[in-house]
Chains A and B, each alone.
Chain A
Amino acid sequence: MTEPFLSIRNLRKTFGSFVAVHDVTIDIPKGEFLTFLGPSGSGKSTTLYAIAGFQDPTSGDVLLEGRSLLSVPSHKRNIGMVFQRYTLFQHLTVAENVAFPLRVRRRPDAEVNRKVAEMLSLVRLEGFGGRYPGALSGGQQQRVALARALAYDPPILLMDEPLSALDKKLREEIQAEIRRIHRETGVTILYVTHDQDEALHLSDRIALFRDGRIAQIGTGEDLYLRPACEFVASFIGNSNFLPAEHLQTTDGAATIRLADGSIVSGVKATQEFGQGQKTRLMVRPEAFRLRPGPATAGLAVEFIDAAFFGERRRVVARTSAGQEIDVRPPSDMANDHDETAQQSGQVFFDPAAAFLFPALQTT
């Protein structure tokens, strides 16, 4: 087996009696864009800081090309990092900021100047070299920080929620820049965020953190289409959970009874269930349709509220068991009839797009 580029092995970090990171193991191939996604306090930043060397793990190891980084002090790890807050050196110009890592490495002037020019053009800030950080916008400051972090060609770039202080439009713009820079430089990037759209937009793979553990690691499609547990299903995208009783499973396709007594077969079982076990059926709002398809299951509902959003409708409906569900069917260009205009009706879903989870989840 070939040695992974960066390897995090059984990482654990405790602060007193609080366990910030339980047991995290990830192998990261060279050039990957991996995002640590999760709610605040889930251990994603702590894991990143352990790689940067600002937090000593309680146990476990961080290996770069097979060699442990733990005994190497932060300033000798040769890692690039962009922080959540603005961390430019205010008393230095933009060019001097980008040159800083090269100056502390005592590189010759000619190389420093060439590299600074190259980096400023990489982040599209040519001509800003003589300005001071105070004269730049937040987005420009983070781009300078990115240039500074890449100036010494680090093998790994760590980014700790670098866009969280920016407004939405600017955030999307810089996300596109980050994607381009990742493509052009081929640097391995570990990116921390709590924003799932950002994670889906940027990453090759996403590690979804929860309570100091990785709930699931995979591509955006894996997490959205094949969630390993209810937490993943509810964190990535939107979801409805309908109480259901499990009847039987064959080849991963389960048959269940919903609260209104209707039987649905062919839903995806995410694990083994016993007969009669209480379960929850997850259906994404966008998996619902307002008209029956070839193999759909129907659910009798009352329509409470409906709004038209062009590409889709957003409907609030109530099942006969009294549960409110979120329904977002795509608009049908070929048929402009609005079923939600009636007081009650049915919504339909493909059982193959619904997932069965255990009813009781310890939180």
Chain B
Amino acid sequence: MLLDYDRLGWLRGALLAFTGLVAAFLLLPVVFIVLLSFGSSRWLAFPPPGWTLKWYEELFAEPAWLEAALTSARIATMATVLAVVIGLMASFALVRGKFRGRDAVRGLLLTPMVLPVVVFAIAIYAFFLRIGLGGTTAGFVIAHTVLALPFAIIPISAALEGFDKSIEDAAIVCGASPFEAKLRVTLPSIKIGIFSAAIFAFLASWDEVVVAIFMASPTLQTLPVKIWGSLRQDLSPVIAAASSLLVLLTLSLMIVTALIRRKLST
């Protein structure tokens, strides 16, 4: 191989330093947010003059924050279930089907990933206002499902492509109906793909803010929308506390994912 890590010599040190720098640049702001959430300064001064947990007290004292977090979880869960179910059916059609316009359908389903989010947000906002879905949970879930769909389709399609259809045929010849064969043989075989799809779909909805701002109403706010709204009113360290919790939750989700994936693949 042209670039063999073991034979890079002194370049190895340079590469490590560069990689470390990039990682630091990307991750340090997150570290600062977490540090600031424990700082006693009301004006987010750094380094903090002292350490305190009062911002977390304030955060938990205000029911609106908890409510926003629960709303986020509820919408993300529903969007995840829908995206995975639709993603599964779409993947079977895209991977196994032979029909005209299959590539066009695949492209269409993956569009939300490449389309500027704000364009999608305005379009769906205008459309939902017209059909009466604006500001409703249903509208919110549908919008986020559309956004999450590419993240579900990509891992499920990849898993399905790597699955030998002969195995499903073997189950059918054994007496399982085509549906039963998919349920009892194919789905368990692509479970890692389905699991990845669920995680990505959940995260796509959980930390989404642009579409959420358009879908939100005074009574229906997700956590990112609540953070955004509070930021515009005043720059309180409570936001740093809320953000830290968001980071903590995402991080634990990633760790749990990694653990479960390791267990599934053995």
Chain A interface (Cβ < 8 Å from any Cβ of B): 52, 54, 73-81, 83-85, 87-91, 100-101, 104-105, 145, 148-149, 152
Assuming the A-B contacts A75-B176, A75-B177, A91-B188, are A100 and B171 also in contact, with contact meaning beta carbons closer than 8 angstroms in the complex? yes
Contact stretch, chosen from B12-20, B162-170, B200-208, B217-225: B162-170
Assuming the A-B contacts A89-B189, A91-B188, A91-B189, are A104 and B166 also in contact, with contact meaning beta carbons closer than 8 angstroms in the complex? no
Other A-B contacts than A75-B174, A81-B170, A104-B184, 20 sampled, CB-CB below 8 A, are A73-B177, A74-B169, A74-B172, A75-B172, A75-B178, A75-B181, A84-B166, A87-B167, A87-B169, A87-B170, A89-B189, A90-B189, A91-B188, A100-B171, A104-B174, A104-B176, A104-B180, A149-B173, A152-B174, A152-B175
- The one of A76, A79, A89, A104 in contact with B167, judged by C-beta atoms closer than 8 angstroms, is A89
Q: List 15 A-B contacts (CB under 8 A).
A: A75-B172, A75-B173, A76-B175, A77-B173, A81-B173, A83-B166, A85-B166, A87-B169, A88-B167, A89-B167, A91-B191, A100-B176, A100-B184, A101-B175, A104-B175
Q: How far is the CA of A145 from the CA of B170 in the complex (A)?
A: 9
Q: How far is the CA of A101 from the CA of B177 in the complex (A)?
A: 11
Q: How far is the CA of A177 from the CA of B174 in the complex (A)?
A: 22
Closest A residue to B169 by CB, please name it. A54
Closest B residue to A85 by CB, please name it. B166
Assuming the A-B contacts A83-B169, A83-B170, A104-B180, are A89 and B185 also in contact, with contact meaning beta carbons closer than 8 angstroms in the complex? yes
Please determine whether A100 and B169 come into contact, CB atoms closer than 8 angstroms.
no
Find chain A residues with CB under 8 A from B188 CB: 89, 91
Find chain B residues with CB under 8 A from A74 CB: 169, 172-173
Q: How far is the CA of A164 from the CA of B31 in the complex (A)?
A: 57
Find chain B residues with CB under 8 A from A79 CB: 173
Find chain B residues with CB under 8 A from A76 CB: 175
Residue among B171, B172, B174 facing the most chain A CB atoms (10 A cut-off): B174
Closest A residue to B167 by CB, please name it. A87
Please determine whether B175 and A105 come into contact, CB atoms closer than 8 angstroms.
yes
Q: How far is the CA of A89 from the CA of B184 in the complex (A)?
A: 9
Q: How far is the CA of A74 from the CA of B178 in the complex (A)?
A: 9
Shortest C-beta distance, B102 to chain A (Å), equals 18
Shortest C-beta distance, A78 to chain B (Å), equals 7
Find chain B residues with CB under 8 A from A152 CB: 174-175
Closest B residue to A101 by CB, please name it. B174
Q: How far is the CA of A77 from the CA of B189 in the complex (A)?
A: 25
